[in-house]
Amino acid sequence: MQENKENKQNSENNPPKKNMNKNIFWIYGGIIAGIILLQFINFKPTAVEIGWRELNKLLQGNYVSRIDVINRDFAEIYIKSDRLDTAKSITNSTNDLDAKGPQFKYVITSADKFDEKIAEAQQNLSVNDQPYIKNIKRKDIWGDALGWVLPLLLLVFIWFFMFRRVGGGGGGNNIFSMGKSRAKLFEGSKIKITFDQVAGLEEAKTEIVEIVDFLKNSEKYTRLGGKIPKGVLLIGPPGTGKTLLAKAVAGEAEVPFFSMSGSDFVEMFVGVGASRVRDLFAQAKAKAPCIIFIDEIDAIGRSRSKRASFNSNDERENTLNQLLTEMDGFDTNTGVILLAATNRADVLDSALLRAGRFDRQITLELPELSEREAIFRVHTVGLQIKNDVNLNLLAKQTPGFSGADIANVCNESALIAARQDKDKIDHQDFHDAIDKIIGGLEKRSKVIKPDEKQRIAYHEAGHATVSWMLKHAQPLIKVTIVPRGRSLGAAWYLPEERQLSTKEQFFDEVCAALGGRAAEEVMLSSISSGALNDLEKVTKQVYSMVAFFGMSDKLPNVSYYDSQGQEYSFTKPYSEKTAEIIDDEVRIIIEQQYARAKKIVVEYNGKFELLAQRLKEKEVIYTEDVEEILGPREFTTDARAVIDGVKKMRDEKKNNDSGVKF
């Protein structure tokens, strides 16, 4: 993306920062050099150091005119001007003596002894010839100064380097701008990204189009007293276009766009993050209406530890608190909208998701077949491609690719073609580019191999079939085999509005959740790690059935639930023996439901196979596909209404991803 053009405002405000920084270093260096130089100048090389024997000779020979006793440490000896030459020979000094003096220097070891010795040495001299002796206290300014200036300078240097280090790369940082936000500003009129450049993501786009309208015509909404949302959270794996979408909002609304990464707030120095948050919001308010985009918000928004623990990160919590304060503080109608992106919504602090903060959440998924084709189309617009390039085929060859990966493929294909001096990019170049990128992706284990795709299709078809055949399982809305996180594919169910769950409902839900693994075992005679999420969910649910709801045969009507949530934090409220029974009961229930799921898969084997086949082809299927293959299922009128509504919305390309996933 065109990220280099935007630092406009920053550089307008403080263009010479980087230079100034360098100058400061030169100035400090100069000062140090100066001090050292002065030290040398101050040192008088002309004064020859002599011992007592020479001094005694000089005194007795009546050469000395004056002795300055400096700090009682050493004596500076001045020779009578008419006797300089002879004095030189007495002391064996080779250099000519300086006329001005002092010519000699004598280091005093004991001040009292020195006085005595001097008196003794000049006994024979007449009073007039006796040298003039003066005690002088002399301050060695430079020596003293050096004593404290040097360590200070050293400290300053160390600080400088530390801060530079910490500042790490981000342009023009020094100590004085630590607390400034490092947000990049994109001027609205310069952002050329529009929704047309965002392919697929129809659901996300319909939700976010509203934000553009809020920014453009805020009066329309506030006129009636409504409040404009403050924050929108974009959740999705890396490269699915979260930044792109946020930029497109700014581009469509033609408002400025502040972009910052969550990790930019975090420093090792206390208070820096909070002050950066303050600064960011102050800047944004000055530019309102505008958008603040915080990428990787989980870097600051991780849930705060409930108990004070030893490794709690106070600085991060301060930063988060400041963010919450700012979000509460700004008036909704100032026209600042905060967009944030994360791929881990589960670790975010619940305070962030509360109403009035990030109360809107938009989930982006890895693109499915048709979306991948659309992304290919967007990214081949500027490329010279040959007629034989089949975008649909390319989309089929790139399961598991994110939008960013596809953008990468397109760019790479152009480079490959250019390397061979071709006029146009042909299909083979795209092939080669895909191969190349898969190589990189395989290391990150994102790419799906054909046999894996088969397994995922069976797994998800298993969920679909089993849940379809169970009376109490939640109604199915959508199944995909596009991987998400660590799970293989996903199935969305319509969560029922119910306050109570019966034992039968629990059993059916557990059975449906085990349907994926059951299908893998039945069809492939082997199981995989792809069922992790399912198993986690099932285990939790069955444990709560047994230990909390009293629904097992051996432990009926007891609950070890602690509604205060404190008492049992260290000890369990039941004996070891009961613990064993709970474990047994959980295992038995899961075993039973697993067997039940397998039985359903076997029983509907033919239809199940058809379903898996269709899933493999289309990558996403909806209720009506399942209905067509497995036959009608009984729905409550409410559920039926929702399913029909979803279908209608989808027909208008506006379907919504709400619901629970298995």
CA distance 454 to 477: 21
> For residues 371 and 534, which CB has a smaller minimum distance to Zn ion in the complex?
534
> For residues 98 and 368, which CB has a smaller minimum distance to ligand ADP in the complex?
368
Q: How far is the CB of 291 from ligand ADP (least distance, A)?
A: 14
Contact partner at residue 516 from Zn ion, ligand ADP, none, CB < 5 to 8 Å by partner kind: Zn ion
> For residues 1 and 641, which CB has a smaller minimum distance to ligand ADP in the complex?
1
Contact partner at residue 181 from Zn ion, ligand ADP, none, CB < 5 to 8 Å by partner kind: none
Q: How far is the CB of 456 from Zn ion (least distance, A)?
A: 9
Contact partner at residue 38 from Zn ion, ligand ADP, none, CB < 5 to 8 Å by partner kind: none
Contact partner at residue 378 from ligand ADP, Zn ion, none, CB < 5 to 8 Å by partner kind: ligand ADP
CA distance 341 to 236: 8
**If binding is defined by CB under 5 A, does position 516 make contact with Zn ion?**
yes
> For residues 294 and 555, which CB has a smaller minimum distance to ligand ADP in the complex?
294
For residues 256 and 250, is the Cβ–Cβ distance under 8 A? Answer: yes
Q: What residue ranges in 504-637 does DSSP mark as E strands? A: 620-622
**Can you say how many angstroms the Cα of residue 214 is from the centroid of all Cα atoms in its chain?**
29
Place of tokens 């085929």: 393
**If binding is defined by CB under 5 A, does position 102 make contact with Zn ion?**
no
CA distance 513 to 507: 10
Q: How far is the CB of 405 from ligand ADP (least distance, A)?
A: 8
> For residues 236 and 335, which CB has a smaller minimum distance to ligand ADP in the complex?
236
**If binding is defined by CB under 5 A, does position 207 make contact with Zn ion?**
no
CA distance 363 to 657: 8
Residue nearest to Zn ion (CB): 516
> For residues 76 and 295, which CB has a smaller minimum distance to ligand ADP in the complex?
295
360-363 and 476-480 as β-strands: parallel, antiparallel, unpaired?
unpaired
From 522, 509, 493, 514, select the one nearest 626 (Cα to Cα).
Answer: 493
Contact partner at residue 534 from Zn ion, ligand ADP, none, CB < 5 to 8 Å by partner kind: Zn ion
363: DSSP letter: E
> For residues 188 and 530, which CB has a smaller minimum distance to Zn ion in the complex?
530
Contact partner at residue 267 from ligand ADP, Zn ion, none, CB < 5 to 8 Å by partner kind: none
Question: For residue 564, how many C-alpha atoms fall within 13 Å in the half-sphere facing its CB?
Answer: 4
**Please, what is the angle between helix 532-543 and helix 576-603, to 10°?**
130
Place of tokens 């990049």: 184
**Can you say how many angstroms the Cα of residue 591 is from the centroid of all Cα atoms in its chain?**
42
**Please, what is the angle between helix 450-469 and helix 623-630, to 10°?**
80
> For residues 249 and 600, which CB has a smaller minimum distance to Zn ion in the complex?
600
CA distance 619 to 609: 15
Q: How far is the CB of 215 from ligand ADP (least distance, A)?
A: 19
Angle at 523 between CA 521 and CA 528, to 5 degrees: 40
The span of 89-97, 108-116, 190-198, 508-516 binding Zn ion (CB under 5 A) equals: 508-516
368 catalytic residue (yes or no): no
The span of 245-253, 358-366, 417-425, 513-521 binding Zn ion (CB under 5 A) equals: 513-521
For residues 302 and 347, is the Cβ–Cβ distance under 8 A? Answer: yes
Contact partner at residue 67 from ligand ADP, Zn ion, none, CB < 5 to 8 Å by partner kind: none
List the beta bridge partners of residue 224: none
Residues that bind ligand ADP (CB under 6 A): 1, 198-201, 236, 238-244, 341, 375, 378, 403-404, 407
97: DSSP letter: P
For residues 487 and 530, is the Cβ–Cβ distance under 8 A? Answer: yes
| Number of residues forming the site for Zn ion (CB under 5 A) | 2
List the beta bridge partners of residue 257: 186, 291
With a CB cutoff of 8 Å and minimum separation 6, the contacts of 167 are 173, 174, 178
Q: How far is the CB of 572 from ligand ADP (least distance, A)?
A: 43
Does residue 102 have a cis peptide bond before it, meaning omega lies within 30 degrees of 0?
Answer: yes
For residues 158 and 258, is the Cβ–Cβ distance under 8 A? Answer: no
Q: How far is the CB of 245 from ligand ADP (least distance, A)?
A: 7
Among candidate residues 460, 520, 521, 619, the one labeled active-site is 460
CA distance 283 to 180: 10
Contact partner at residue 244 from ligand ADP, Zn ion, none, CB < 5 to 8 Å by partner kind: ligand ADP
* Interaction residues for Zn ion, span 523-562 (CB under 5 A): 534
Q: How far is the CB of 237 from ligand ADP (least distance, A)?
A: 7
**Can you say how many angstroms the Cα of residue 71 is from the centroid of all Cα atoms in its chain?**
62
Q: How far is the CB of 296 from ligand ADP (least distance, A)?
A: 9
Which positions lie near Zn ion, rule CB under 5 A? 516, 534
Q: Give catalytic residue positions.
A: 460
